[in-house]
Structure 1
């Protein structure tokens, strides 16, 4: 008898070929092969399926590139004036022109962009961390802790944070204005965010796995850190990205009013403040920093919208997981 005749009908000759044959070797029925898609992979695919989000990401990457290495592309430093070129328009020697003091606008914008990005990202991340812990803790402990916590949040919301931040920065010395600005934005920026996270945590604290963890004697800090905050991850990511725009705008407003970054350092707000008085004689001093600020805020806003659609399962960009 031949070897082929000994093989039962309906079963593949080679078991390794079963996955490609479309037949389950155990049940002799057609089968479907499914490939598991991870959550992060799904988020990334949804994000890149939105063209505006990709455009925003490309714009932000370009801005980050110039903020990091842009100073090496020119011979001028932001604190190195050229006294032979005062209020000169854009030229081959000074690509974006010069200020009334002879400072190169390209070098100033690169320095200001880096400073504004540093303030925006650091303060936004710090605000998210503080708000996540305080907001979830107030909702988790309930009772008197929740009442006192909400009373403190309500009291802090009426504090004139803009003026207090200005006072903090005005008292700083030694050229560390940007550090004090981050401190001020962080100290007063988490309050409203914590109230939002507290509201979202109210439904999470009633879940079965939270009650089970309490019953098993798991410490409150571990429940907050390992169960509550991770389940708010999508909200935290989106608000951290959008918080960069808010922090940059706050820094720009303070610096524009002369209450933020001070000379010899610079930021986009400082450049806008310097350019407003000479807009008729040297419009490039105000125009180019304005364009960079618009591109920065617009790109981050597009990225935030893309992340919102990617994480939201009911969004239009969800599509198929393939």
Structure 2
């Protein structure tokens, strides 16, 4: 609570989540409703953020896009951080050929052109967000896995871990009970940062037409649809782009604050400076 960045990020993210969840409940229009009497209208009592050229409510569409982008971002962060924890701890704890093979695979994925691979594979997924999650997560865990491996090499030599090994605790249980908890701060910060990275990546793919596709929407598709009239009719473009900026800002503030709070070597730990 003393760290201002973590507190501001948590409050802002909580407000955005509340808006995306509760907003559609109070909106007079659904995201897939069409008002045939209001095409490209400005904000009014009937349509709070105006309408699109096809008569759809911008407020409802923007909240639907935020829900989808946040859901994809959180899912990708959980999967990618889980992969980093799994491969990093196994490589660092087991060592030997297991370590060499896993790190060789990490190096191979690091040199692949991720944007090119995503651009080639995304159109074959049919635009379904569930299939987009593992594809995005596959390119976000490698750097963290190396950091987890390096920390595991240090943690496995601690007295508590050595005592558990001498008592005959199995490797899977030893990693889950004694190694991973020691890496909790790194994994929590990585997960929070990966949310914003995944939201930006998904929005970029959807903007290019190779991410989430119609009839569903995300912030990227809304920005793409509204960019043509952004100067003359800014409501669809501005609402989606502004909400995307706020989401990324909130997650980054929360991630920076968590890093300062959880890292014992941070000079600003607990001070919020």
Structure 1 length-normalised TM: 0.80
Deviates more, 1:117-126 or 1:308-317: 308-317
Partner residue, 2:23: 70
Report the alpha carbon displacement of residue 219 of structure 1 after superposing the two structures with TM.
1.0
- Counterpart contact for 2:3–2:270, Cα < 8 Å: no
- Counterpart contact for 1:135–1:198, Cα < 8 Å: yes
Alpha-carbon distance between aligned partners in 2 of 1:161 and 1:255, rounded to the nearest angstrom: 16
RMSD, matched Cα: 1.6
1:153 to 92, 96, 106: 106
Higher normalized helix content (fraction of residues): 2
1:103 to 56, 61, 83: 56
2:131 to 163, 168, 180: 180
SS at match of 2:116: helix
Report the alpha carbon displacement of residue 263 of structure 1 after superposing the two structures with TM.
0.6
Report the alpha carbon displacement of residue 57 of structure 1 after superposing the two structures with TM.
1.5
- Tell me, which stretches of 5 or more residues in structure 1 are unaligned? 1-47
Larger Rg: 1
Structure 2 length-normalised TM: 0.93
1:242 to 193, 202, 218: 193
Partner residue, 1:282: 233
- Counterpart contact for 2:140–2:194, Cα < 8 Å: no
1:300 to 235, 247, 251: 251
| Cα shift readout 1:64-118 (whole Å, capped 9, x = no counterpart) | 1121121111121111121221111111111111111111110000100000110
- Counterpart contact for 1:60–1:299, Cα < 8 Å: yes
Greater relative contact order (Cα 8 A, min sep 6): structure 1 or 2? Answer: 2
SS at match of 2:44: coil
- Tell me, which stretches of 5 or more residues in structure 2 are unaligned? none
SS at match of 1:88: coil
| 1:159-308 equivalences in 2 (<5 Å) | 159-173=112-126, 177-308=128-259
Report the alpha carbon displacement of residue 159 of structure 1 after superposing the two structures with TM.
2.1
